[in-house]
Amino acid sequence: MLPFSVEQLKWFVEHAGLIVAAPFLAGFLIIMGVRASKFLSMAVSVGAVAYGLVHSLAIFQALVSHAFPDPYFQQNIPWFSSSSFTLSVGVLVDNTAALMLIVVTSVSLLVQIYTHGYMREDPGYSRFYAYLSLFTGSMLGLVVSTNLFQMYGFWELVGVCSYFLIGFWWYKESAAKACMKAFVVNRIGDFGFLIGTITFFLYTKDFWGAGPVLGFVGPNGTDLASVIHKAAAAGALNDSLLCFIACLIFMGPMAKSAQFPLHVWLPDAMEGPTPISALIHAATMVAAGVYLVARAYPIWLNTDGSAGTALTVVASIGAITAFMAATIAMSQYDIKRVLAWSTCSQLGYMFVGLGVGAFTGGIFHLFNHAFFKAMLFLCSGAVIHGLHGQQDIREMGGLKKSMPIAHICFLIGTLSISGFPLFSGFFSKDEIIGAAMVHHPFIGWLMMLTAGMTAFYMFRLYFMTFTGEYRGSAHPHESSPAMTWPLLVLAVPSILTGYLGFNIANLQPALAGASPEHGLPNHFAAFIFGPNGPHFEGANVTMMGISIAFGLAGFAIAYLMYLTRTLHFNKTFAESKEGMANLIYNMSFNKWYMDDIYFGIVDRVLLPAYKNVWTFVDMVIVEGVVNGVGLVTMSIGEVLKYLQNGRGQYYALVIFAAVAGIAWISYILPTH
Amino acid sequence: MNPEPQHLLTILLLLPMLAALAISCSPETAARKLAIAFGGGMFGLSAFILSQFDVSRGADYQLVERVSWFEAPFPVQYFVGVDGMSLSLVVLTGFVTLMAILASTSIGNNRPRLYYAMLMLLTFSVLGVFLSLDLLQFFVMYELELVPMYFLIAIWGGPRRAYASLKFLIYTFFGGVLMLAGLVYMYTQMGASATFDMTSLTTMCPSLPKDVQLLACLGFFLAFIIKLPSFPVHTWLPDAHVEAPTPISMLLAGLLLKMGSYGLVRICLGFFPSFFVDYGPQIMALGAFNIVWAAMACLIQQDMKRIIALSSVSHMGFVLLGVASLSSAALSGAIFQMVSHGVISALLFFLVGAVYERTHTRQLPEIGGGLAKQMPNLFYFWMLGTMANLGLPGLSGFVAEAAVFYGSFTSPMATSVVNGHMVQGWIYFAALGVILTAGYMLWLLKKVFYGEELDKWKGHLTDATGTEKIVAYSLSFSILALGIYPLMLINYYQPVADKMADDIKTHINVTHKLDPVKKTAISLR
């Protein structure tokens, strides 16, 4: 624990905004001139986030030790005001936010240190640190957002940082395409987020009282749940409407957290440098969707606070994604893409957790996943770095001799993500699957199967990369200490954090045959919910057993296929030319053809059709009418110009005719 | 507080006139320096006026100055004053003009004296529009702008400048005639108390008969949406922009379009609120349509300047959407959009010009991408401009869009029984612009800067020069500042928006046209 007094701890909580401000300031400084010096850029950037980590830990300590006695701290300043309403931005620190702050700052710090090793040779070194700082600031801003509007703002900011970083090597055509795809797909989600939020605002606008508009928590019944309740009581909101709003807003998380059908950008995002894949596209930003659902959870419930259709939608989308991504990951050959698909799949697990009511399970998985997935990606970066840019696992193998540290860390990450007992992924995944079994057994079993598939593709990756004989042509070597130390540090939480969410004391009664419905509180859930949390579930030994069995099965198949090479399913599938096997393999290898469908629709159908319509309407109708008017005027002018012939008698005739005409008109018109 | 300083606005208005005279009497070589000096002076003075403005009375006209010329047969007077909204635009005018003058390096030795004199004349008329409190004077200033603009495009424009300048002239002149018709019609219908005084027209016009209001407003409305511009009378804008030289494009998009939107708020909404109560939904639909239609049009253009020009049409659609929704927040968003778009479009046109000066082509296929290699600094400014244009939070474009969306969706229009659902539908539709804008702006950025450089550019291109950096930094910082803390601008004009929204509320209550939906949720199956 940090050596701070109670007063100091309080100060830290009340100045949480500094955590957000520091990286922004660092990014700004680097852009405005510090970039000239590589070392200074790195120092400023790392310093800002290191400060953030210390500050976050102090906040955590303050909340745990109750040095800060209230359940949350909130501060808002108006950002847009009018007589109709005021939108504000501010800082909200509660237990969930405190945890996320630690996750973001710690992973970001390690990734930034790692970057020093990874990007040392790159001419864009300083620029990279500028983007990293801006990203970290935006992500932290998202974490401490007090209301949906502010979250939308930072939501877009992290998106744009991701865009910059995916397209960091702008001269690569594939990177240029990938960053644009990522941004546009995310914008589609943001569109839903935006209209969902304004619709929600329309029906609740009279009920925010003194609290921040669209705020998550607030004094005197201005928190999200109470406002929804009040609006429902006043008849402004009902369950179906709220479900509609929830589904619209959920488009945001679907895009940001790469859920079916808006997941297509994430695998392509691997075009960015590997530290980015670790920080943004694995550990932090992609978890923002999960964080949003957790934050604004009442929107996904019924108006009376019970679980409803919207949560089922969340769970179903999560389940589809988890399963789909796992099937795809089994046939990919790019080390980073396999990891990207696994991220997709694990995010699906988190949504399943939130969707089936395992609220803490979802967040717990987010927490564990951030550490082990960041480590896996950094390991893959070390591998790619050691092989001078090679990413194809068919060109790897036997790397455990030349890269022992990367090897051991990768193995730990693999064990963790596959849900092997005692590693962190095991506990959170079990919690999710257990809850899913209760509410939606089909989803539960699907997740169980997916867990087995996860073990299979992760060990496939591990065996093909680190065991056997080296198949490539580079000279693999271990990376510099700046890269290996972050790996080793991340290995610790990847092994240990699981125990935070599991109370060993629950194991005893469970083994004795007690019902798993009630148990003693565990640290993680107790911290998230506070002492008055709902109820805590005990250990479910049967479920654990089954899930371990599935995991082992996946491991065994991978072992037989890729290490001892006694099984040859993979060849049967990959080399089959027709029939079911071929179909399944191609489906998986071609990522369920989602990209082809999307690009087909946009490039072949929408754009050409639109081009024709636009040409027709704009060129023919709009221009045509206007030019037609011009033509008429000109032809009239052609006729009328004969009137101006300069002959005096002609003009006199016209004047005479006009006077006569006016006289005649005034004669026939009735007088007033 | 000290008494208000006298004649400030008159001095500001006369400054560009003086500058035009001084420049035309000076040698060709001194023209640019003189223009910069006067531009700087104008901006400084407008900033000083900003400091003299009493924010607590933001909705009142301040620093008023009035000289009557003759009263019969109709009153003609000189009458200037600013409230929060016009002040914001006056400062914007000072700023963008200075930037445009600085950016005029490409004029070089091509008759600089005439050029800068014309530019100053243009500024004079734009300032006149924003400062006028007399409708006749407003009209004269509004029309005066045509003359310098026509010559600026016709002399210093691109290859098709004759066509473009004539098209610009005809469209705008057509609008001017309609406005004159509306103005005269309104005046003749007011009977004994007839006046051109804009401060009293605000209270007098709404008491005219309904059909008179409709006809008079229609004249003004058509004139302003031509200037805005809005579908279907927007086609002059892309042509004019493509042919105009870079600094003139900056002024055209940054300032001249704002004359249309300013008139829309000040005159159409201020004088004839019942027009908006009756036809608000249709106008909102037009705005939403503009946003999406123009954004879609951008997706298939090949000329980068045309893309930015059409994106102006799209963004000015937010003004229509916000103004017609009659809510204080959305109106405030619309006014913010005027200022924000003024700065963003100036930056974007400037950047397009900077690239064009180096590559001598604006066609995307000919540029072929990869320019980031030799112009890293311009690339970063482009990124910022792109992000501002697509409404990234933290930059000014987002504030306006968010305020318009939040405001219009909770406005009396969107909650009314009669057309509420239609209006909500149109706002959803307008929100599609969020996706489309990202699509075309990023596509443009990719086509220009990302990817491999073409062989023909190797070693031929240079990065931003010192002057260019000054302009780009100034514009970028204002975009950033407005985006991070928008209240520093909103505080000035918010009373105006609030007051207008309140005035309209009384009209709504009288007509019962927009009774809100009973507090029962519509159930969705």
Band of the pLDDT at B381, cuts 50, 70, 90?
Answer: very high
Q: What is the pLDDT of residues B414-460, one digit of tens each?
A: 887 777 888 888 999 999 988 899 989 998 998 888 888 888 877 77
Question: CB of B319 within 8 A of CB of B338?
Answer: yes
Pairing between strand A86-93 and A73-81?
antiparallel
Q: Name the residue with higher pLDDT: B321 or A67.
A: B321
Taking contacts as CB-CB distances below 8 angstroms, the residues of chain B near A85 are 329, 406, 410
Helix, strand and coil in chain B, % to nearest 5: 75, 5, 20
Q: What pLDDT, in 10s, does the model give residues A400-418?
A: 888 888 888 889 999 888 8
CB contact residues (below 8 A), chain A span 7-36, against chain B: 31
Determine contact: A191 vs chain B, CB below 8 A.
yes
CA distance B427 to B406: 10
Give the mean pLDDT of chain A.
84
CB contact set of B151 (below 8 Å; sequence gap of 6+): B114, B118, B165
Task: For residues A591 and A270, give the distance between their C-alpha atoms in angstroms, rounded to a whole number.
Answer: 15
Please give the distance of CA A499 from its chain centroid, rounded to a whole number: 26
pLDDT of residue B44: 92
Pick from A53-67, A458-472, A474-488, B343-357 the range whose average pLDDT is largest.
B343-357
Q: Which residues of B fall within a CB distance of 8 Å from A156?
A: 392-393, 398
Q: Is the Cβ–Cβ distance between A447 and A436 less than 8 Å?
A: yes
Determine the residue type at A544. M
Average pLDDT, integer, range A321-346:
89
Helices marked H in A234-296? 239-256, 265-268, 274-278, 288-295
Task: Please count the other Cβ atoms lying within 10 Å of the Cβ belonging to residue B491.
Answer: 14
Residue B138's pLDDT band (cuts 50, 70, 90): very high
Check whether B522 has a pLDDT greater than 60: no
Q: Residue A88: which H helix or E strand, with range?
A: strand A86-93
Residues of A numbered 133-152 whose beta carbons fall under 8 angstroms of chain B's beta carbons: which are they?
149, 152
Instruction: Answer yes or no: do A201 and B410 touch at CB < 8 A.
Output: yes
Amino acid (1-letter code) at residue A508:
Q
d(Cα A334, Cα B480) in Å, to the nearest integer?
40
Mean pLDDT along residues A542-567: 82
Local confidence band at B339 (pLDDT 50, 70, 90 cut-offs)? very high
**Dihedral class, residue A349 (left if φ above 0, else alpha if ψ from -120 to 50, else beta):** alpha
Confidence band, pLDDT 50/70/90 cuts, at residue B519:
very low
Report how far residue B335's alpha carbon sits from residue B318's, in angstroms, rounded to the nearest whole number: 10
User: Residue A535: what pLDDT?
Assistant: 53
Average pLDDT, stretch A621-646? 70
B436's CB contacts (< 8 A; 6+ apart) are: B292, B295, B296, B298, B299
Strand partners, B82: B62
Task: Round the average pLDDT of chain B to a whole number and report it.
Answer: 86
Q: Which residues of A288-300 are buried (b: 16+ CB within 10 A; e: fewer)?
A: bbbbbbbbbbbbb
Q: How far is CA B318 from CA A201, A358, A536, B297, B404, in A?
A: 20, 42, 51, 17, 7
- Mean pLDDT (whole number) for B116-145: 91
Q: Do residues B326 and B407 touch, judged by C-beta distance below 8 A?
A: no
Nearest in space to A291 (alpha carbons), one of A133, A165, A141, A417: A141
Residues paired with residue B62 on neighbouring β-strands, in sequence order: B82
Chain A's closest residue to B485, CA to CA, is A79
Q: Are the beta carbons of B89 and B338 closer than 8 angstroms?
A: yes
Are A308 and A302 spatial neighbours (Cβ–Cβ below 8 Å)? yes
3-state SS assignment for residue A391 = coil
Which of B433, B481, B449, B255 has the alpha carbon at shortest distance from B352? B449
User: How far does A27 lie from chain B, in Å, by closest CA?
Assistant: 14
Find the residue in B nearest to A32 (Cα): B473
Six token digits for residue A544: 């654990």
Task: Check residue A500 and report its DSSP letter.
Answer: G
Cβ B410–A85 below 8 Å, yes or no? yes
Encode pLDDT of B62-102 as tens digits: 888 888 888 877 888 898 888 889 999 999 999 999 999 99
Peptide bond preceding B393 in cis form (omega within 30 of 0): no
**Cβ–Cβ contact A180 with B under 8 A:** yes
Return the number of CB contacts < 8 Å for A and B.
Answer: 163
Check CB contact under 8 Å for A171 and B399. Answer: no
CA distance A582 to B378: 50
pLDDT score at A23: 92
Backbone angles phi, psi at A266, to 5 degrees: -65, -50
Query: Average pLDDT, stretch A645-656?
Result: 74
Percent of the residues in chain A that have a pLDDT greater than 70, as a whole number: 91
Interior angle at CA A392, CA A391 and CA A397, nearest 5: 100
Distance CA B387, CA A160 (A): 8
**Average pLDDT in the B395-403 region?**
91
- The pLDDT of residue A623 is 67
Helices B376-389 and B466-484: angle between axes, nearest 10 degrees: 30
Inter-chain residue contact B300 with A176, CB threshold 8 Å? no
Mean pLDDT of A619-631: 69
Higher pLDDT, B37 or B519: B37
Residue B519 near residue A206, CB atoms below 8 Å: no
pLDDT of residue A86: 86
- Alpha carbon distances (Å) from A42 to A103, A119, A161: 21, 11, 18
Residues in chain B closer than 8 A to A623 (CB atoms): 235
Interface test with B, best of A149, A198, A248 (most B CBs within 10 A): A198
Q: Which of A460, A366, A379, A459 is nearest to A420 (CA)?
A: A459
Residues in chain A with CB shorter than 8 Å from the CB of B439 are: 184, 187
**Which of B248, B280, B241, B288 shows the shortest CA–CA distance to B264?**
B280
Residue A72 has pLDDT above 80, yes or no: yes
Residues of A (337-376) whose Cβ lies below 8 Å from B: none
Higher pLDDT among residues A644 and A166, named by residue: A166
What pLDDT band is residue A105 in, cutting at 50, 70 and 90?
Answer: very high
- Which residue of B327, B432, B519 is in closest CB contact with A236? B519
CA B251 to each of CA A666, B97, B104, B256: distance values in angstroms, whole numbers, following the listed order: 51, 7, 11, 7
Taking an 8 Å cut-off on Cβ atoms, the answer to whether A234 and B519 are in contact is yes
Provide the b/e sequence for A334-357 (b: ≥16 CB within 10 Å).
bbbbbbbbbbbbbbbbbbbbbbbb
pLDDT of residue B190 exceeding 90: no
Q: Are the C-beta atoms of residues B321 and B427 closer than 8 Å to each other?
A: yes
pTM (2 d.p.) = 0.89
**Range with the poorest average pLDDT among A192-206, A216-230, A240-254:** A216-230
Over its C-alpha atoms, chain A yields an Rg (Å, rounded) of: 31
In a 10 Å sphere around its CB, with 0-12 CB exposed, 13-18 middle and 19+ buried, how is residue A662 labelled? exposed
Please, which residues have CB within 8 angstroms of residue A655's CB and are 6 or more apart in sequence? none
B475-506 residue pLDDT tens: 999 999 999 999 989 989 888 888 888 888 87
List chain B domain ranges: 277-518
pLDDT at B4: 67
Retrieve residue B120's tokens: 């100053």
